[in-house]
Chain A
Amino acid sequence: MNQVMIETGVVESTPAALLADLQELRDNAAYRFDRLLDVTAVDRGETLELVYRLHSLQTNCDLVVKASVDSAKPEIASVSGLWEAALFGEREVQDMFGVVFIGHPDPRPLLAPEDGFGFFPLRKNYKLPGRSGQAGR
């Protein structure tokens, strides 16, 4: 990774390297991203793009780390060991996109009912039911 330090720079990572990359970003004295502000995902069709929004209180810099996982088998390492904020953020992504976060200590649904929705509402293949109940608007 380059030493990007612009406002809201974007860094691409891979599912395999994500944990190590984020650990580096958190612990390396040159970056010191001590906060994970948000975890979310974007459905890109074939892949699900996970978005980790980091912030450093020391340097007041933002950084977005992205990692794409396969939509058919979305699995990625949990970063909840690095930032506790991921405990909630990853559970939300799990409810909404069906991403499995390996190593998450409490992978129960958070916003979804206890047994889940039965579908993943924020994926593009889920169509909102219309006013009369049919799918799609």
Chain B
Amino acid sequence: MAQLKLEHNGVTACGTELYLLNMGPQHPSTHGVLRVLLELDGETVVQATPVMGYLHRGLEKLAEARTYPQFIPYTDRLDYVSSMCNNLAYCQAVEKLIGAEVPERAEYIRVIMAELNRIASHMLFIGATALDLGGMSGMMYTFRDREYILDLFNLASGSRLTYSYVRIGGVMNDISVEFIELLRKFLADLPGMLTEYDNLINGNEIFQARLKGVSIVPADRLISQGVTGPVLRASGIDYDLRVKKPYGIYDRFKFAVPTGSVGDNWERYLMRVLEISESAKIIAQALENLPEGPVMAKIPKVIKPPVGEVYHANETPRGELGFHIVSDGSTKPYRLHIRRPTFYNLGCVNALCQGVKIADVAAVLAVLDPCMGEADA
């Protein structure tokens, strides 16, 4: 019999022979086409290597062959769960480049849309996490409520998933009175929805036991890995671009940025739940102060920015989404690079997975909330 090795890679487990388990790209809990190579010692993970690129469409190259407005629909397909935020980040980057001013009303509408999309994305996250932990019913409830938001988006933009609603210089069209009424109704219903999640999902003993104290990684390791968004904030780093580098009109709103202290999976999960109600606060404030006026600035039909470079980052539900645009003075970007939060967040999969059980890999992937359309660009 082979010599028993009780430690692999700093992970102490039963010390049997290591074996390789290929989780994905087609697996019920890998959120799209992520593949994770797991080196296992019994049920304990010794090494987890994410393999990606199955959804690589060469967006950055495509951008070089598209004019600036033509690229907006492509940003929808980055992180297809939070398309509004992607639209917003891209349009603001281009506006920074050409020095365009956006009308007040459009700014407010943008904030409303971005925060609504954050809520929708986090609702999907809560449901998907419950599903990954085996609680089938939770998903139905969060998806039911996400449907409200999708209907709202449908009303405003005519589309339920790929909106292209935010445009360079403003938004596609004004929101209707009906939209505002429905939005107010949604905001009134939201606390009830959250209570329902608390009862069904968050408050469940097993659910908490599955997440609490699992995958604690020192914050400086996550910082070094370039992790952003709620995953980083769960480790106690109070860094939210909306507060630290306010873009658009975010400096006008009062809201709290939830941060964790332990940095386990439970807090990573909780960050999203808490962010929902903070986003609702922002929307309520924006609705209250929504000014009248145009929603589109006078932007030339053909956008020809000056030669230069710009980088603009937004806080999307998953972290810092940045657009780095290099312009050569023509109508098409010379080079467009997207700093995708999911891409860098997946860098910490190994750190989070080492030493946990197979079941927790599903939990880790759930709380990282990756969207492979974004990671693979």
**A residues in contact (CB < 8 Å) with B:** 8, 34-38, 40, 42-43, 51, 53, 57, 60, 62, 64, 83-85, 87-89, 92, 96, 109-113, 121-122, 126, 128, 137
Residues from chain B with Cβ under 8 Å of A84 in the complex: 221, 224-226, 347
B60 interfacial contact with A, CB 8 Å: yes
B165 interfacial contact with A, CB 8 Å: no
Residues from chain A with Cβ under 8 Å of B339 in the complex: 37-38, 40, 53
A63 to B225, CA, bound (A): 17
Q: Is the interface of B mostly helix, strand, loop or mixed?
A: mixed
- Determine how close the nearest CB of chain A comes to the CB of B336; give it in whole angstroms: 10
Interface residues of B in 333-347 (CB under 8 A from A): 334-335, 337, 339, 343-344, 346-347
A-B residue pairs, 9 tightest by C-beta: A85-B226, A111-B53, A40-B337, A38-B339, A84-B225, A88-B347, A84-B224, A42-B335, A111-B56
Question: With A38-B322, A43-B335, A89-B344 known to touch, is A122 a contact of B223 (CB < 8 Å)?
Answer: no
B343 touches A88 (CB 8 A): yes
A53 touches B344 (CB 8 A): no
Tell me the nearest residue of chain A to B343, going by C-beta.
A88
Q: Could you say which of B7-15, B237-245, B261-269 contacts chain A?
A: B237-245
- Determine how close the nearest CB of chain A comes to the CB of B286; give it in whole angstroms: 25
A121 touches B226 (CB 8 A): no
Name which of B62, B337, B347, B376 has the most chain A CB atoms within 10 A of its CB.
Answer: B337
- Determine how close the nearest CB of chain B comes to the CB of A117; give it in whole angstroms: 9
B346 touches A88 (CB 8 A): yes
B255 interfacial contact with A, CB 8 Å: no
Instruction: Give the contacting residue for B347; candidates A8, A43, A60, A87; CB below 8 A.
Output: A87
Instruction: Give the contacting residue for A57; candidates B239, B322, B326, B347; CB below 8 A.
Output: B239
Question: With A37-B339, A57-B239 known to touch, is A85 a contact of B60 (CB < 8 Å)?
Answer: no
Interface residues of B in 52-102 (CB under 8 A from A): 52-53, 56, 58, 60-62, 65
Residues from chain B with Cβ under 8 Å of A35 in the complex: 223-224, 226
Tell me the nearest residue of chain A to B339, going by C-beta.
A38
